[in-house]
A and B are shown apart, each in its own frame.
Chain A
Amino acid sequence: MSNHLQNLNLKIWRQDGPADGGRFESYLVGSISDEASFLELLDVLNEQLIGEGEDAIAFDHDCREGICGTCSLMIDGQAHGPQRGTATCQLHMRKFASGDTIVVEPWRATAFPILKDLMVDRSPLDRIVEAGGFITAATGGAPDANIIPIPKPVADAAMDAAECIGCGACVAACPNGAANLFTAAKVSHLNLLPQGQAERWSRVEAMVETMDEHFGSCTNHGECEAACPKSISLDFIALMHKDYRRAKVKNRKLISQI
């Protein structure tokens, strides 16, 4: 049987709209099962608020299985809360204790304006992908899938990078508001694969430069890897930087694709 936590004090950021000033509001949740997820705690609080005639707290969420990347939240100053390698939706109340005070804020980054309460606009991440985060392979002309063998370690490394869920925790955790881990994951996923070689140099250049238009610069703090719900490795940032440097030479004359 589940146990219940009693008397949780929540300090939650409320903001009416992008142009409004925000403030912390305090709420008390009297009892919650330790089997509940953190987002279910907010569900319970919202039911309570609607019952009192108050506006419910806006927050992004969807799959609640840690894969869609929709949920966010800075919980006690940590992106996605205290549990390593875990998105907010998979964080459960058994990680907290009765009587705790929990501070809940939206992602804080210049590139992510707050839309309302805990909800932010992360669309600059999409702009980076649109700039080059793809392999140009129009529908219909693909050769047989087994025509290019890919060594298992290469496929596995590409998959390690491809696991990124695009939640933006790396940006929120970074003191500079940089999106290097996100960008590096996408660049590395595609640049590691044989199918990605044709556009390797143009891809990294376009993506890094689009990233720089929206986000801060990386100074190797490593907060991003610690906050990442998929534990994506900082090594991919090194790979991206290496490819970016080489691209500056390669792209001047695309004569050698080695």
Chain B
Amino acid sequence: MTDSLLQSNTPAGSIADKWDNYKADMKLVNPNNKRKFKVLVVGSGLAGASAAASLAELGYDVEVFTFHDSPRRAHSIAAQGGINAAKNYRGDGDSVHRLFYDTIKGGDFRAREGNVHRLAQVSVNIIDQMVAQGVPFAREYGGLLDTRSFGGSQLQRTFYARGQTGQQLLLGAYQQMARQIGLGTVKLWNRVELVDTVTVDGRCAGIVTRDLVTGEVRSHAGHATVLCTGGYGNAFFLSTNAMNCNVTAAWRAHRKGAYFANPCYTQIHPTCIPQADDTQSKLTLMSGSLRNDGRVWVPLNAGDNRAADEIPEAERDYYLERLYPSFGNLAPRDISSRAAKRAVDSGRGVGPLKNGVYLDFSAAISRLGKDVVKERYGNLFDMYERITGENPYDIPMRIYPASHYTMGGLWVDYELMTTIPGLYAAGEANFSDHGANRLGASALMQGLADGYFVLPYTIGNYLAPMLNKPVPGTDHEAFKTAENEARGRFQTFLDIKGTRSPDHFHRELGKIIWDRCGMERTAEGLQQALTDIPALYDEFKTDLRVTGTGSSVNQTLEKAGRVDDFFQLGMLMCRDALERNESCGGHFRAEYQDEEGEAQRDDDNFAHVAAWEFTGDPMKSNRHKEELEFETIHLAKRSYK
């Protein structure tokens, strides 16, 4: 049964009418009254920038917080492949319903129908909005927009801008927000990090931040607060996330009462450059779009040490095409990743460390010519060559899965509100739309959908009844307490004076989580992790070394706070994975697979969202359930064969 706090508040009506019904019934704020409401937006990626710009255009008093030097640096910028939208410009049979269905199925039937249908509905508005803002999407010679296909779909519904779609969309949203900054309707706080959220009388009253240049801790009060602070993929240490991506904002809110949903749903992206050595600080993604024209293979026989071009066709195993004939190299990410892991685990890995599989473009180059391949993927090929020193036009790329995206996040209802009234989460920071696995080109879609087309409506519905009612200011005792706690916490890191750096602990922690809670999980391994992580966390608390001071730029100190939060999250990830006795999407428990090695769901017992309540110790958090109700879609085995 669904826990009483976890009501999704999905509107009534048929699936296609729910969003319209919501908008027809929601409360409005008069244009002249909007400026009386202050909205704090934390994070300046796609969700944050688009929400801030739209709310400011409507007339709200908006403040934006980013730990970057400029809002344009947010990690949305690194998304390569594209953005899905149900435009059906190709006339290939696309529709809102089909995008909705593909997303639910892609998420292995673990997402909420109402939210996902709304996402598919507004996807078409996103493309219109971004083109109007000057996003230079790829075009056909006739001047119309070009699209391509992507993993988990049999349609060409993905719009793109070379291999830099995330960059162009983020710059579009950033520019729209920059206009509002110039007009004085958005106040920007850069190089400032959230260190706590503040709850007064059961509603979110604002946040506490730390200035990364001066170390100053200060409070900010608002009528509503929106966390657009991204995912927690860096819990694994090595991931495709940017170095500064962290879970701190979401985790600090979780500690103050926001439930954390499905932390075990993490996405391991199949096409990343394999690790080259031990000093490596991050892994680099090669866009999933490469699988449109690249063919994935390994040698048929283990221990085959020949160079790629010396292995004849008959002795190659194009395993995705063999196992999943109808989707082939475009099988969804979770399935492709596990297949790569199995190929490498069977001793058929390629490259100097035998830790990759080939992604081969020779067939595409002979079919299309080098120029066409260069036009489509030139910048990705150049990037690959810069990193590996190998030219992928001549030698097949080597790829291997890496942590890339996290479907889990703060639990939110249909309005994107967390379990703390007045506190919202959008984009990757929430758990909302991707179930247990996200399809390619859907992250950009969700970030912009939340920021442009959902929050501007739902926040008004919350604020309207608060008109002319006093809210606590930053002089309230709760803010002072939170500030002092934050100062004390950072001072503690400086005072431990142990022997090992935050990076050292992060690397060790990431290795445990990757080994035990990565692509394949077992009850035994998870139990081991739940012994190992707390033990390492105890060492962290007694043997951490942070040099420098708390009153100037100190990246070691910033890192210490983030690693502290990753430790606590890591425990919750493993507990969530241990409690979910089924395999679904990115969560693969070795005990639950069919005879062909495919994930085996348990819809009778696990067709629910697991939302965790913090109780003071992440090893003792309480698990709550939101039952997922499928009114439109029939639960089926997810097959891509």
B-side interface residues toward A, CB under 8 Å? Answer: 50, 53-54, 57, 68-73, 75, 77-78, 87, 89, 125, 127-134, 136-145, 161-162, 164, 166-168, 171, 174-176, 178-179, 181-182, 188, 190, 213, 242-244, 276-282, 284-285, 352-353, 382-383, 386-387, 389, 452-453, 456, 501, 503-504, 545, 547-548, 552-556
Instruction: Kindly state whether residue A62 has any CB partner on chain B within 8 Å.
Output: yes
Q: Which residues from chain B contact A47 at a C-beta distance below 8 Å?
A: 501, 503-504
List residues of chain A with CB within 8 A of the CB of B127: 145
How far is B167's CA from A166's CA once the two chains are assembled, in angstroms?
11
Going nearest first, the 9 A-B pairs with the smallest beta carbon separation are A149-B143, A130-B182, A142-B132, A134-B175, A35-B276, A137-B132, A142-B128, A116-B553, A145-B131
Q: Identify A123's interface contact among B69, B89, B547, CB under 8 A.
A: B69
On chain B, the residues within 8 Å of A134 by CB distance are: 133-134, 175-176, 178-179
Closest CB-CB distance, B558 to chain A, in whole Å?
Answer: 10
Which of chain A's residues 116-143 have a Cβ closer than 8 Å to chain B? 116-117, 119, 121-123, 125-126, 129-131, 133-140, 142-143
A24 and B153 CA atoms in complex are apart in Å by: 55
0/1 per residue, A83-109, Cβ < 8 Å to B?
101100010101000000000000000
- Interface contact B389-A94, CB-CB below 8 Å: yes
Residue in contact with A139 in the complex, picked from B50, B78, B182, B552, CB distance below 8 Å = B50
Cα A107 to Cα B281 in complex, Å, equals: 24
Given contacts A50-B545, A137-B133, A139-B54, A44 and B128 within 8 Å (CB-CB): no
Taking a contact as CB atoms under 8 Å apart, the answer to whether B277 and A36 are in contact is: yes
Minimum Cβ distance to chain A for residue B508 (Å): 13
With the chains together, A68 CA to B44 CA distance in Å? Answer: 13
> Can you sample 8 A-B contacts with CB below 8 Å?
A43-B281, A67-B167, A68-B242, A134-B176, A139-B456, A142-B131, A143-B132, A149-B144
Q: Out of B129, B133, B139, name the residue touching A150 (CB < 8 Å).
A: B139
Chain B residue at minimal CB-CB distance from A49:
B547
6 further A-B pairs in the complex, CB-CB below 8 A; given A32-B279, A151-B141: A2-B352, A35-B280, A65-B285, A90-B383, A142-B132, A145-B131
Shortest B404–chain A CB gap in Å is 12
Instruction: Check if B134 sits within 8 Å of A195, measured CB to CB.
Output: yes
Q: What distance in Å separates the Cβ of A91 from its nearest Cβ neighbour in chain B?
A: 8
8 Å CB contact of B73 from A68, A85, A115, A129: A68
**Contact at A55–B548, with CB atoms within 8 Å?**
yes
* A92-B389 CB under 8 A given contacts A36-B279, A145-B127: yes
Q: Is A39 an interface residue (CB 8 A)?
A: yes
Q: A43-B503, A116-B552, A116-B553 are in contact. Are A56 and B547 (CB under 8 A)?
A: yes
Asked if A68 contacts B143 (CB within 8 A), the reply is no
Q: Which residues of chain A have C-beta atoms less than 8 A from B50's C-beta?
A: 139
Contact of B555 among A33, A58, A163 (CB under 8 A): A58
Beta-carbon contacts under 8 Å, A135-168 to B: 135-140, 142-146, 149-152, 155-156, 158-159, 162-163, 165-166
Rounded to whole Å, the gap between the CB of B142 and the closest CB of chain A is 6
Is A122 within 8 A of B555, CB to CB?
Answer: no
**Given known A-B contacts A67-B78, A70-B73, A92-B389, A142 and B176 have beta carbons under 8 A apart:** no
List chain A residues, Cβ under 8 A from B182: 130-131
**A69 to chain B: closest CB distance in Å?**
7
Report Cα–Cα, A159/B146, bound state, in Å. Answer: 14
* Given known A35-B276, A90-B387, contact A135–B133 (CB-CB < 8 A): yes
CA distance in complex: A94, B277 (Å): 13
A40 at the interface (CB under 8 A from B): yes
Q: In the complex, which residues 15-53 of chain A have their Cβ closer than 8 Å to any Cβ of chain B?
A: 16-17, 32-33, 35-37, 39-40, 43-44, 46-47, 49-51, 53
Q: How far is it, in angstroms, between the C-alpha of A137 and the C-alpha of B453 when the chains are bound?
A: 14
The minimal Cβ–Cβ distance linking B455 to chain A, given in whole angstroms, is: 11
Contact B190–A50 (Cβ < 8 Å)? no
**Separation of A44 and B281 alpha carbons in the complex (Å):** 10
Contact of A70 among B69, B131, B548 (CB under 8 A): B69
Q: Which residues from A are CB-within-8-Å of B132?
A: 135, 137, 142-143, 145, 195
Measured between alpha carbons, how far is A149 from B144 in the docked complex, in Å?
Answer: 5
With contacts A136-B179, A145-B127 taken as known, whether A115 is within 8 angstroms of B72 at the C-beta atoms is no
Q: Give 1 or 0 for each of A183-214: 1 = CB within 8 Å of chain B CB.
A: 00000011001011000000000000000000
Min distance, Cβ A253 to any Cβ of chain B, angstroms: 24
Whole-angstrom CA separation of A65 from B383 in the bound complex: 8
A43-B503, A70-B69, A126-B70 known; A135-B243 Cβ under 8 A: no
Please tell me if the beta carbons of B128 and A145 are within 8 angstroms of each other in the complex. yes
Distance of A137 Cα from B125 Cα, bound (Å): 13
Say yes or no: is A60 at the interface (Cβ < 8 Å to chain B).
Answer: yes
Given the complex, which residues of B lie within 8 Å of A135, measured CB to CB? 132-134, 175
Contacts of A43 in B (CB 8 A): 279, 281, 503
Which of A36, A129, A130, A139 is most buried by chain B, counting CB atoms within 10 A of its CB?
Answer: A139
Q: How far is the CA of A195 from the CA of B181 in the complex (A)?
A: 21
- The answer to whether B386 touches A90, judged by C-beta atoms less than 8 angstroms apart, is yes
State the CA gap A143–B382 with chains docked (Å): 36
A143 touches B57 (CB 8 A): no
A223 to B54 Cα, complex, angstroms: 39
Closest to B53 in A: A139
**Shortest Cβ gap from A155 to chain B (Å):** 4
A37 to chain B, nearest CB (A): 8
Contacts of A17 in B (CB 8 A): 552
CA distance A63 to B632 in the complex (A): 40
Q: Is the CB of B78 within 8 A of A193?
A: no
| A92 to B168 Cα, complex, angstroms | 26
Given known A-B contacts A123-B190, A134-B179, A166 and B72 have beta carbons under 8 A apart: yes
User: Are B553's CB and A62's CB within 8 A?
Assistant: no
Residues of B within 8 A of A166 (CB): 70, 72
Q: Are B136 and A162 in contact (CB under 8 A)?
A: yes
Interface membership of A255, Cβ < 8 A: no
| A177: interface (CB < 8 Å) | no
Asked if A129 contacts B75 (CB within 8 A), the reply is no
Which residues of the other chain, B, contact A122 by a CB distance below 8 angstroms? Answer: 69-70
User: What distance in Å separates the Cβ of B490 from its nearest Cβ neighbour in chain A?
Assistant: 16
B81 CB, nearest partner CB in chain A, Å: 13
Q: Which residue of B lies closest to A121 (CB)?
A: B69
B143 touches A152 (CB 8 A): yes
* Cα separation A92 to B554 with both chains bound (whole Å): 26
Instruction: Flag whether A61 is at the interface (Cβ < 8 A).
Output: yes
